[in-house]
């Protein structure tokens, strides 16, 4: 089955499903490192050639680097999107040397000459100064040949505009976007369309809640077995609660049955059909669902399907605000579960 691709720039295209790396960084069960590297080869051979990772996803950049080294015939086919996320405790004191050291570390870990895409985030753009100046340092490192393209993740529209207005060349944006979290639609996506900035979406499967496993089940509560369920259960509560989410799952089940696909694939197809969306990131700790996920390219949502979904989605209550506003509130229910200093927890990279 052919994997759809998206041209984010005249000289750069990606698979429209991106293999996410967060689930390999801990908090989602044990990870067999050797098997995870073998699984990366399976994804690439199937046509999912774009990987998402981050400087603070513990051990994941190194895994991708080891995959590249052990599979030299596949490595040239791969596009790697990593992130630059200064620790919260560093904000207000981020120097050029610090930025360059993190970028150099990612280059070493990934075993590349330059980074394909660096997606930038700053935990507190309004409270801690320096996020625009740091974006300009990334621009300098791009000019120096260490970064090919600069992206962002989780900035609000206003904050993204400040970066763009300062002259930081933004190619992609990675927002949390799904049928239950449509915050990007009000301001961010229209602005990005005007600027030619492509959306690479995460959270589309709501941490696994978009599954028949949850249809007809009583509302779950903490503690959850992994961090994703903890995070996205909060989004479902803001969306309108468990009863409304059950109606959405049932609508997706009806649509999926019609096309012979799962609820998860209906959610993925929905996001891929939204304006300005280049790709969806799907987290995976193994390759066991890769063939199933490829079926997203085998069907299309028709007018009746979208009408059925819209009837439920029109009654959503939230989440409110611009992108990631809720998560940036460290004292709020979304912000309290975040880990703000992941780089500080890592061992020094080997030379």
Question: pLDDT tens, 169-190?
Answer: 999 999 999 999 999 999 999 9
Query: Which candidate, 288, 292, 281, places its Cα nearest to that of 42?
Result: 288
C-alpha distances out from residue 166 to 12, 88, 94, Å: 24, 23, 18
What CATH number belongs to 5-345? 3.20.20.100
**Position 27 confidence tier, pLDDT thresholds 50, 70, 90:** low
pLDDT tens, 149-171?
A: 999 999 999 999 999 999 999 99
Cis peptide before 223 (omega within 30 of 0): yes
Could you tell me if 278 and 184 are in contact, meaning their C-beta atoms sit under 8 angstroms apart?
no
Scanning the structure block, which residue is given the tokens 């993190």?
A: 102
Q: Model-level pTM?
A: 0.93
Q: What backbone phi and psi angles, to 5 degrees, belong to 335?
A: -70, -30
Query: Has residue 348 got a pLDDT over 50?
Result: no
The mean pLDDT of 252-259, rounded to a whole number, is: 98
> For 338-341, which contacts have Cβ atoms below 8 Å and span 24 or more sequence positions?
340/87, 340/88, 340/89, 340/123, 341/87, 341/88, 341/89
pLDDT tens, position by position, 28-66: 557 788 999 999 999 999 999 999 999 987 789 999 999
For the cut 60, the answer to whether the pLDDT of residue 345 exceeds it is no
H or E, element range at 126: none
Q: How confident is the model at residue 350 (pLDDT cuts 50, 70, 90)?
A: very low
pLDDT in tens, 291-339: 999 999 999 999 999 999 999 999 999 999 999 999 999 999 999 988 8
Residue 277: its pLDDT value, please?
Answer: 98
Higher pLDDT, 264 or 24: 264
pLDDT of residue 140: 98
List, in sequence order, every residue forming a beta bridge with 52; answer none if it has no partner. 20, 81
Structure tokens at 3: 């994997």
Please tell me the predicted confidence (pLDDT) of residue 283.
84
Q: Name the residue among 223, 209, 166 with its Cα closest to residue 337.
A: 223
């Amino acid at each position: 089955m052919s994997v759809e691709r998206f041209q984010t720039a005249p000289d750069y295209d990606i698979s429209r499903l991106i293999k996410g790396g967060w689930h390999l960084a801990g908090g989602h069960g044990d990870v067999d490192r050797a098997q995870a590297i073998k699984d990366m080869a399976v994804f690439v051979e199937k046509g999912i050639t774009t990987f998402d990772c981050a400087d603070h996803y513990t051990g994941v950049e190194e895994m991708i680097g080891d995959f590249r080294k052990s599979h030299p015939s596949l490595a040239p086919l791969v596009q790697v999107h990593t992130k630059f996320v200064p620790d919260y405790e560093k904000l207000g004191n981020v120097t050029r040397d610090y930025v360059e050291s993190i970028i150099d570390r990612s280059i070493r870990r990934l075993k590349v000459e330059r980074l394909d895409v660096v997606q930038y985030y700053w935990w507190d753009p309004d409270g801690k100064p320096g996020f625009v100046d740091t974006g300009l340092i990334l621009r300098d490192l791009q000019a120096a040949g260490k970064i090919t393209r600069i992206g962002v993740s989780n900035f609000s529209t206003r904050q993204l505009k400040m970066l763009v207005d300062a002259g930081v060349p933004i190619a992609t944006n990675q927002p949390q976007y799904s049928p239950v979290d449509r915050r990007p639609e009000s301001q961010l996506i229209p602005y990005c369309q005007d600027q030619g900035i492509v959306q690479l979406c995460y959270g589309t499967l709501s941490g696994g809640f978009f599954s028949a496993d949850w249809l007809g089940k009583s509302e779950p509560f903490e503690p959850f077995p992994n961090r994703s369920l903890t995070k996205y259960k909060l989004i479902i509560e803001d969306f309108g609660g468990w009863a409304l989410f059950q109606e959405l799952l049932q609508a997706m089940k009806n649509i999926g049955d019609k096309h012979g696909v799962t609820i998860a694939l209906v959610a993925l197809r929905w996001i891929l059909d939204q304006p300005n969306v280049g790709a969806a990131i799907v987290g995976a700790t193994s390759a066991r669902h890769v063939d199933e996920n490829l079926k997203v390219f085998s069907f299309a949502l028709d007018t009746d399907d979208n009408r059925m979904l819209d009837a439920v989605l029109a009654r959503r209550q939230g989440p409110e605000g611009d992108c990631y506003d809720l998560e940036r509130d460290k004292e709020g229910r979304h912000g309290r579960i975040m880990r703000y200093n992941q780089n500080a927890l890592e061992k020094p990279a080997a030379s």
